[in-house]
Amino acid sequence: MKKISIYILIIGLLGIFIGYKVYHKPHINVAKKSIDITITANILLADFSSDETKANAKYLDKIIAVKGRVTKVEFNGEKAAISLQTKDDFGSVVCYLVKDEFKKSAQIKEGQEVVLKGICTGFLMDVILVKCIIINSK
């Protein structure tokens, strides 16, 4: 009888522990995730402009490494947004960086070629990537 109640207690505690772990599951750490798609800013935007539904299926929620020339760096507090050049006059690829990249992003200059890694959330006037980190800047 005593043994059984100990088992029940252990299972109960295990359940609480798992429940707690699932509830507090951490957000995706882009730096640690492997890249799903490597692409240039120009092709990424072109894919969304030509067929948005198809592009949504292909790129949404994916970890994307996007290469392009910087046209603009804007700051909202410690969070940078870097726009990348495309051949389209209208849109670009805008990457919203994580706070941890503040120091690195402050050194990014217009005209510089960069590779940024982030999660694609979709297309408005620009293709939008969030939680971005800088993986290459020359």
Partner 1 sequence: MSLFLVSFASAQERFLTKKGMISFFSETPIENIEAQNNQVLSIVDATSGKMAISILMKSFMFEKALMQEHFNENYVDSDKYPKATFKGAIIDFDTITTSERSLAIIGNLTIHGETKEITINALTKKTGEVIEMAGDFFINLADFNVKIPSIVKNNISEKIKVSFRFQHKPYKK
Binding site for partner 1 (CB under 8 A): 22-28, 49, 52, 56-57, 60-61, 74, 76, 81, 89-90, 94, 96, 121-126, 128, 130
Tell the smallest beta-carbon distance from residue 121 to partner 1 (Å): 4
Tell the smallest beta-carbon distance from residue 131 to partner 1 (Å): 8
Q: Which is nearer to partner 1, 3 or 66 (CB)?
A: 66
Q: Which is nearer to partner 1, 5 or 53 (CB)?
A: 53
Tell the smallest beta-carbon distance from residue 76 to partner 1 (Å): 7
Neighbours of 15 (CB within 10 A): 10
**Are the C-beta atoms of residues 118 and 94 closer than 8 Å to each other?**
no
What is the spatial distance between Cα 92 and Cα 71, in angstroms, rounded to a whole number? 9
Burial code (b: 16+ CB inside 10 Å, e: under 16) for 18-47 equals: eeeeeeeeeeeebeeeeeeeebbbbebbbb
Tell the smallest beta-carbon distance from residue 1 to partner 1 (Å): 33
